[in-house]
Amino acid sequence: MAAEPTAQESRSRDLDKLLLRPGNLVGPNFEPGPALRDDLKEYGRVLVVGAGGLGCELLKDLALSGFQKLEVIDMDRIEVSNLNRQFLFRLEDVGKPKAEVAAKRVMERVGGVNIVPHFCRIEDKELEFYSKFSIIALGLDSIEARSYINSVACSFLEYDSDDSALEETSKPMVDGGTEGFQGHARVIVPGVTPCFECTIWLFPPQVKFPLCTLAETPRTAAHCIEYAHLIKWDEVHSGKAFDPDDPEHMKWVYNEATKRAELFGIPGVTYSLTQGVVKNIIPAIASTNAIISAACALETLKIASGCSRTLSNYLTYNGAEGLHTKVTEFVKDKDCLVCGPGVLIQLDTSITLEKFIDLLKEHPKLLLSKASITHRGKSLYMQAPPVLEEMTRSNLSIPLFDLIGKIPKDVVHAIGTTTKNDKKTSCLRKLRVVFKGVDEIADMDTAGET
């Protein structure tokens, strides 16, 4: 009589069918066998961005798909309203960091996996942190956060002298998103497929309410919330910027919105709705999260192992009436400021770092304020935290040409804020810096000169 399979053998049974056997749809470098499964455990490092409804599913699915070195980053704490769909959390977890609890729960249930949690903003991590991962999986509910991670991943992409992308420098991403009974999963390979910014038009603009309606005739709970957010905040906190990621700021808006709603007899203002309106958070359903997460985890496994050709390149799911899925192949924007070769900037060798940062504010393609500058992983100037600002402040008076080692042409990265749709967002931009009058650059193609 055959021996009963162990728990580990049972768990890897379906995975082995993908990794241990050849097939007609495999990638060009696919080599089936136990060594591939072991390499996946040893070398497959995946970062999951977001530990909410979709992030919880992603962590679980990736752990069960053979990935043993995972990390997760999320800045939020668990709230009671999360418990209906974020299945890794319990009532006793309310108030605790999502990333830490999610990592702990998955490691308790899946043996052999190690998940490192990071309870912080994605902007708090330097480029070096993101560079160590082979794949980045996104489980986010914010366009701004997606855009930032997209710019970070694209910053690692290098181009040759003919402006052709070097695929070995590409940092693949798998992005998932859900809205009610609808969702999407997409594969982003910078330099090969369109990046998030190439197809930003896929996302509808945020709904805006006329200020006169907010101030005089509010009719919905959202009107009351936006009144507190857009009008009342500035009246009370003149000159102080509202931070949607600060719990105290959000609680203040909620309290003011509640007062406003009571004044006009409008029901429905809740803290959860306040967050949703202010941060443009989209409602989620557990079953949709599970379906989209499964698609994202499978694409992550395909990229890491080559066991099948990857999605080309955007999957949409609609479960509102029956079930409908469709794959659309979008085309890369050759002029994209994020995944392209970078914005070309010609400078005199005497331009100081401080003057360079000022130029970024005025550049028509960038309009980048409060920029921090890095070169090949080294911080030339950091706006924050204060200790790093003080350490790098002396570089401001030094010519950029000297700071990058008197190289005639090179790439630097700028992290700062820009304004989109009247809203300030963090972004990272790749800049191709060329110094005028320096030898060895006479033959450089300066098409698109600024």
Active site residues: 212
- Asked if residue 34 has a cis previous peptide bond (ω within 30° of 0), the answer is no
Q: Which two tokens stand for residue 232?
A: 């009342």
Please give the structure tokens belonging to residue 141: 């509910």
Task: Give, for 352, the enclosing helix (H) or strand (E).
Answer: none
Locus of tokens 């080309």: 312
Integer Cα distance of 293 and 315 in angstroms: 12
Evaluate whether 380 touches 328 at the Cβ level (below 8 Å): no
Omega before 313 cis (within 30°)? yes
How many degrees, rounded to 5, is the angle at CA 81 between CA 425 and CA 257? 60
E strands in 339-403: 343-347, 369-375, 378-381
Contacts of 141 (CB under 8 A, 6+ apart): 50, 52, 54, 177, 281, 282, 284
What is the rounded CA–CA span in Å between residue 176 and residue 112?
A: 26
Which among 160, 157, 217 is positioned nearest to 193, based on CA atoms? 157
CA distance 225 to 222: 5
138 beta partners: 49, 175
Phi/psi at 142 (5° precision): -130, 130
Amino acid occupying residue 221: A
Measured CA to CA, the distance from residue 130 to residue 158 in angstroms comes to: 16
Instruction: Return d(Cα 85, Cα 337) in angstroms, integer.
Output: 37
> 299, 136 in Cβ contact below 8 A?
no
- Cα 78–chain centre separation: 20
- Host H or E run for residue 9: helix 7-11
Q: How far apart are CA 313 and CA 302, in angstroms?
A: 13
